[in-house]
Structure 1
Amino acid sequence: MAAESKPLATFFVSHGSPRTLVDETPTTDFYKKIGEYARRENIQGIVWMSAHWETPYDTIEISSNPNPDKDFVAFVPEHILEWYRTYKINSSPALASRCCDMLRENGVNASLSPTAIWHQDVMIPIRWLYPDPSTCPPMSVMSVNGRFDPHFHLKIGQALRSLRKERILLIGTGGGIHNLYNLSWHHIIYYRDTTFRTKPIEKYAAEFAVSMRESCVRNSGPRLGNALCRLLKHPHFLKCNPTPEHFLPMIYAAGGCTSYEDEESVNAFGGENWEMNTQLNSNFVFGLPKDDTLFLSANEDETSAIDLRSNISSVSSTATAVEAAA
């Protein structure tokens, strides 16, 4: 592949619940923007990091399966199930092998998996990026490492950074706040609707959301990777993400933009939505030029994080009012 002078941006997407295959939200709007960006930039491939695939010890695996199966998906209409079942994944063993070689050259214990299946955390954004498989570029998907070391995942993004100049997108798929223990599961089980709220946002969750957003949009170059790795020590991190596998793909995506060459680039918040009361689907783009017009909104400025902080007090006030009414 011929190298290009301008590196692509990298992306972190929250895949949400299976209902994200169906329900249009700010998250699915962001997916569509990535698809628009990919076509505008004439991308040649995508390398995903999947939160739903963990490997042990110090290993990373990359799918080299040319015809991968998919995992089970539920709570969606039959026509969506049919799309999911029949979608022909454009899996590229050649791209997988290339990534594996690059990781090994950087000291990562990487290997190819010829039998790996693809999970819904990748298929959900693909549904909105490339609903027609005939238009989808070659792709590969890699695991997260089960030791959950953020610096290890940052290194993986850094090792694959040069792919950005070859029109290869780096995308991590996971979640911003992902605690399966405290979700309101009845929303999806009984009603097939995850987006309505039945209680206020918890103060701890709102505070972590602020820290996550500020860490992403107010840092660039090496500071970006350092800021995101530190978030695993945030006082509310474990309550938001008791198992951090859904957060690590964000660090992978940021790792592709954490060299000193990236200090002049900017990052952007890609929107969010809550599901089942406590799951926050946050989305970010890293490594944009300052003159970008697709992801950098004219209304997105330094006051946005301050505005978000001010929402915490209103959330807390709402919670107090609800408790008093009860």
Structure 2
Amino acid sequence: MSLAVTPVHFFSHGSTMMLGEESASADYWKAAGDAALAHKVRGIVIMGAHWDFKSDLAVQVSMNPNPSKQPVANVHASKYVEYKLKADLATGKRCIDLLNQKGIRASGNETFEWIHDVFLVIIRMFPNPNTMPPTTIVSSNAHYDPHFHVRIGAALRPLRAENYLLLGSGGAVHNLYRNIWSPMLLYKDNFAQPTPPESWALEFRQAFKDVVEQNSGPRLRRGLTRLMKHPQYRDAHATDDHYISSLFVAGAVGDEEDEGVSAKLMAEDWELTNMCNSQFTWGQYVEAKA
């Protein structure tokens, strides 16, 4: 019997203004949320970009029963302050157990505040907080070893067969040092493009897209790991934090059983001239087949 498994998403969350402004990406996040609700997913397991655990080869899982939200710049408070988050402690404990079983040191964090890289996407996916599925956040590791993060995704991959949605929130091209900030700071216009994106941004965006669309199974894992040696990688990612969740995704959808399942680019927005917010999905909701 082949098991039906949930899709996997890699979402580029972009700047904080993606929470408040309409965009093609926001429309797709909502569509992905609607599909998850229609399929009655049991919960969401997500690795973002802004929480890294500073210990050798170890991660943490958010176990705060009533998490607060860190403030979001350039977004009106009405967009997020009253939104009630829904932490999933039972699945958090399950994730810790699965990771430890695979030799990944995992522990719970009972005081972690949720950061916009996670709740920005969640609010866009589920605008009505009453419909938000229970959600578990897994940290990255501050050493940013790509192979280690593939192992994290692989360890949690079995949850897909139990109707959990696995998701990485980061960025395909995300270098805050090389963005053009003046339109946003002066006019609150994050989508202004007074000039085209620079060549390094266009080239790495294309390289990322080629890898995830033209590879599947273990080749996907190798391809995304290898991209960290791409000549434009450091231009596209001054720090590794927004790329590393794509390796978590590769672990979750890069098994031999995933051969033939490649990503599809579902939406994309350029922000701040040089930041590319690409939204990729692997697979679709299907019923089990005997």
TM-score by length of 1: 0.84
Is 2:4 the partner of 1:23? no
* Cα distance in 2, alignment partners of residues 234 and 196 from structure 1: 28
* Residue ranges of structure 1 left out of the alignment (5+ in a row): 291-326
Q: CA shift at 1:255, angstroms?
A: 1.2
> In structure 2, what is the equivalent of residue 38 of structure 1?
36
Report the AA paired with residue 149 of structure 2: H
Rg larger in 1 or in 2? 1
* Cα distance in 2, alignment partners of residues 244 and 270 from structure 1: 24
* Cα distance in 2, alignment partners of residues 235 and 187 from structure 1: 29
* Cα distance in 2, alignment partners of residues 48 and 267 from structure 1: 18
Equivalent residues of 2:47, 2:167 under 8 A apart: yes
In structure 1, which of residues 7, 10, 13 is the aligned counterpart of residue 8 of structure 2? 10
Equivalent residues of 2:217, 2:257 under 8 A apart: yes
Report the AA paired with residue 73 of structure 2: A
> In structure 1, what is the equivalent of residue 118 of structure 2?
122
Report the AA paired with residue 46 of structure 1: I
> In structure 2, what is the equivalent of residue 76 of structure 1?
75
In structure 1, which of residues 74, 86, 92 is the aligned counterpart of residue 88 of structure 2? 92
Q: Structure 2 matches for 1:224-263, cutoff 5 A?
A: 224-263=220-259
> In structure 2, what is the equivalent of residue 315 of structure 1?
none
Q: Structure 2 matches for 1:52-201, cutoff 5 A?
A: 52-57=50-55, 58-77=57-76, 81-201=77-197
> In structure 1, what is the equivalent of residue 267 of structure 2?
271
Tell me, what secondary structure is at the counterpart of 2:175?
coil
Q: CA shift at 1:288, angstroms?
A: 4.1
* Residue ranges of structure 2 left out of the alignment (5+ in a row): none
Runs of 4+ in 1 over 4 A off after TM superposition: none
RCO higher in structure (CA 8 A, sep ≥6): 2
Equivalent residues of 2:29, 2:125 under 8 A apart: yes
Tell me, what secondary structure is at the counterpart of 1:69?
coil
* Residue identity (%): 37
Report the AA paired with residue 164 of structure 2: I
Report the AA paired with residue 63 of structure 1: S
* Cα distance in 1, alignment partners of residues 22 and 221 from structure 2: 31
Root mean square deviation of aligned Cα? 1.6
> In structure 2, what is the equivalent of residue 206 of structure 1?
202
* Cα distance in 2, alignment partners of residues 287 and 147 from structure 1: 30
* CA displacement, residues 130-184 of structure 1 (integer Å, 9 cap, x when unaligned): 1111111111111111101111111111000110011101011011111111222
Equivalent residues of 2:5, 2:285 under 8 A apart: no
> Bigger shift: 177-186 or 95-104?
177-186
Equivalent residues of 2:34, 2:126 under 8 A apart: no
